[in-house]
Structure 1
């Protein structure tokens, strides 16, 4: 007489018991519980203000009165047809040029200090330290540094250049000086990003290249540069967006005077000094769209997946 076959046994091995519904719900809900607070903060402090800003950009709201009138695209027409509103973007050209210098210097120092160099930990701290300083403090320090007869003139006098130049007195010299301050301050961030990316490259690649007789330049060209392309792409995006949205240093050092007014400084003045919140919101939307467009173009030209060690 044969034995009764257990329906839960298939092929001689018991089939796994179905997972209880409570466990499946718990596994599905738990990740969202952890994300609930960050998502709520993101919506409240990022997406909701952006939506309100876009809505205000189509009105003539002054930022104080509860009454506002819808003006359509009138604010956007003003931005693109009034030269005094849009020409401040040309000031960003100084900071774009400074960002190129900044990236090149950060990449150079990161490459040099990624190899065995004497006192390299000391130099790493020196390069990264300016990024840790508060921007307001940096603005006041360099305000005295560039003033007539200030620290810079005293240093030049030590080398025989006895002159007192108004470094912040003309648009060209003032913007160059302010852009130079931004290079000094933000180079440490790009330096750390590049250094981390370079040090993550396997040492076997360097050893194999040395066996093939490659020098430092060839190692940089064929190993380092392709390997850090995603980080370099990120740094370029951050530098371009930062150049277009400069605010802190020029606002503290010059207040936007002497031809140093940036687009963000102008937007703040429109909102809080001239009570044109609707126009200021439109300007902020324009800046946001320009940054998104630049980022999209850059990502299309240099996609992250094209990393080839050749």
Structure 2
């Protein structure tokens, strides 16, 4: 029989539970330590989600105590009025940008996982943008893309002044500019995750590959990529989910103007600019369902691919 711990007896006695056996002590301590985080999770995550689900079936301006039950009318509006659902096409720019972002992050992580001069400097430089505040990044790139700003000055310096554009005014260019900003900011997160996974691979494997005459591509193709497959899947799920729910960069830089409005920006405007909290709640539920659905599809795809291999 396991003996009870004097420290646990003292702690449980302090809480007024007296002397209890070891198994009960373990259960009680787990419960006490989990009580606060679980309570915060329920209060700030699940309870608002439940309320949002209830509001999605109501017509409410967010201020008046009167709420009118409208059933599924809010959901019908989302799928029948193009100004609410067509903004999902903007997410395609960020969706394809995530593959560029992951490819660059994986490339730099692979290169900097080996002996490269100044590799610690390059690691910090790549990861640094992710540490910056989103508002600061928005203002930095506002000056970067503005007419006669940093980008135009660089093009003029390279003799390409005729290619300067209205990067944040032209509807055909604005989403490319914003997606590029998103890649610059979030690539550091993918990079540091990939780097940690690659550095966890045993050096003995690389030594054996060198003896067999493997070049850099062979090492990447047959050692690195199979070893970090799970990490690639995780990063892809996070990146695609983030592309669907993108908000911060376009909202700060353009406010959704010139065709850059995303579904989340449309939801915020619907709730706080047009005071349609019920409709905005329905939009939030639709976004949640889409993100969960895309995540499940990705997991099933990777699971089937792994099973077939």
What is the aligned partner in structure 2 of residue 40 from structure 1? 39
Cα distance, 1:218 vs. partner? 1.1
Where 1:258 maps in the other structure, the secondary structure is coil
Q: Which has the larger radius of gyration?
A: 1
Residue 145 to residue 17, structure 1, CA distance change in 2 (3 Å) = closer
Where 2:161 maps in the other structure, the secondary structure is coil
Cα distance, 1:116 vs. partner? 0.7
What is the aligned partner in structure 2 of residue 288 from structure 1? 288
Q: 1:131, 1:189 within 8 Å by CA — same for their partners in 2?
A: yes
Cα distance, 1:206 vs. partner? 1.1
For structure 2, list consecutive stretches of 5 or more residues without a partner in the other structure.
5-18
Residue 214 to residue 274, structure 1, CA distance change in 2 (3 Å) = same
Are 2:157 and 1:149 aligned? Answer: no
What is the aligned partner in structure 2 of residue 8 from structure 1? none
Worse-matched range after superposition: 198-207 or 16-25: 16-25
Are 2:125 and 1:120 aligned? Answer: no
Q: 1:59, 1:72 within 8 Å by CA — same for their partners in 2?
A: yes
Residue 153 to residue 305, structure 1, CA distance change in 2 (3 Å) = closer
Cα distance, 1:304 vs. partner? 10
Kindly report the root-mean-square deviation, in angstroms, between the aligned alpha carbons of the 2 structures: 1.9
Where 2:182 maps in the other structure, the secondary structure is helix
Query: What TM-score do the two structures reach when normalised by structure 1?
Result: 0.91
Whole-angstrom CA distance in 1 between matches of 2:111 and 2:178: 27
Cα distance, 1:303 vs. partner? 3.2
What is the aligned partner in structure 1 of residue 203 from structure 2? 203
What is the aligned partner in structure 2 of residue 179 from structure 1? 179
| Offset from partner CA, 1:73-94 (integer Å, 9 cap, x none) | 1111110111111000000011
Where 1:172 maps in the other structure, the secondary structure is coil
| Offset from partner CA, 1:156-194 (integer Å, 9 cap, x none) | 111112244211111121100000000000000000000
Query: What TM-score do the two structures reach when normalised by structure 2?
Result: 0.91
Are 2:81 and 1:85 aligned? Answer: no
Size of the aligned set, in residue pairs, is: 294
Whole-angstrom CA distance in 2 between matches of 1:304 and 1:195: 26
Residue 18 to residue 118, structure 1, CA distance change in 2 (3 Å) = closer
Q: 1:229, 1:307 within 8 Å by CA — same for their partners in 2?
A: no
Cα distance, 1:24 vs. partner? 2.2
Where 1:63 maps in the other structure, the secondary structure is coil
Whole-angstrom CA distance in 2 between matches of 1:250 and 1:304: 36
| Offset from partner CA, 1:123-146 (integer Å, 9 cap, x none) | 000000000110001101111111
Residue 138 to residue 304, structure 1, CA distance change in 2 (3 Å) = farther
Whole-angstrom CA distance in 2 between matches of 1:199 and 1:17: 41
What is the aligned partner in structure 2 of residue 167 from structure 1? 167
Q: 2:3, 2:22 within 8 Å by CA — same for their partners in 1?
A: no
Cα distance, 1:23 vs. partner? 2.3
User: Which portions of structure 1, spanning 4 or more consecutive aligned residues, are displaced by more than 6 angstroms?
Assistant: 17-20
Worse-matched range after superposition: 145-154 or 255-264: 145-154
| Offset from partner CA, 1:212-240 (integer Å, 9 cap, x none) | 22111111111111111111111101111
What is the aligned partner in structure 1 of residue 194 from structure 2? 194
Q: 2:144, 2:151 within 8 Å by CA — same for their partners in 1?
A: yes
| Offset from partner CA, 1:274-305 (integer Å, 9 cap, x none) | 00000000001000000000000101111399
What is the aligned partner in structure 2 of residue 264 from structure 1? 264
Whole-angstrom CA distance in 2 between matches of 1:17 and 1:98: 57
Q: What aligned pairs does 1:1-310 form with structure 2 within 5 A after superposition? A: 21-163=20-162, 164-303=164-303, 306=306
For structure 1, list consecutive stretches of 5 or more residues without a partner in the other structure.
1-15
Whole-angstrom CA distance in 2 between matches of 1:307 and 1:75: 41
**Is the helix fraction higher in 1 or 2?**
2
